[in-house]
Amino acid sequence: MSCNGFLEWVILYRGTRILLSPPYEEVLHSGVLRPMFELGLERRRGLLAPLGTLDTAKTSLLLKLQAAIHSHVKDAERLEAYDATIDHLRRAFHAVYDKPIEDLKNMDVFAWMFSISDGYVALLKQQDPVALALFACFASLVREMRRMWWTHGWGEWCISQICTELKKEEDWLVQYVSDITG
């Protein structure tokens, strides 16, 4: 799949999580970068907090996708990875869409990559169709950051590439992804 470069970037980005754990964590939270890391932790806690708002039209579509996944996939381990990923996507969608778009911060979108499970990342590496479909949903959040030059076109491109692949393998996923990312 030609979205490989972006998927590799996700894996590399997640690799920076090691810097947020001991012993590096102490250094980062006590040095000159402390305010930046504290803000990041605050945003992450907000992302992981219980959802305080009802599902929106966008997040309701994620729940419909989740139900469809459960009717097509029977492997419990995969379902666990998908369910956790969808939960984090719902939270990320709330973080992005529950505020004016001009208040959108990088962390609102990219915190998702720190939250996803290693099991989901393994499925993504294997280019598992459902994992890719969920990644396309994430790419729609990247698309919302289009006013930032460095994200311009990434979201759209990734969604397009994934939908093209899904049409070849798992056509049932395409409409759900289109509804969510549309």
Q: What pLDDT sits at residue 109?
A: 80
Contact between residue 139 and residue 159 where contact means Cβ atoms under 8 Å apart: yes
Q: What is the reported pTM?
A: 0.82
Residue segments in the chain with a per-residue pLDDT below the cut of 70:
1-6, 13, 16-21, 24-25, 27-28, 43-54
Distance (Å, rounded) from C-alpha 68 to C-alpha 179? Answer: 13
Total of domains in the chain: 1
Q: What pLDDT sits at residue 1?
A: 47
Q: What pLDDT sits at residue 137?
A: 95
| Structural domain span for residue 26 | 4-181
- What is the SS3 assignment for 135-153? HHHHHHHHHCCCCCHHHCC
Q: What pLDDT sits at residue 6?
A: 67
Distance (Å, rounded) from C-alpha 150 to C-alpha 53? Answer: 31
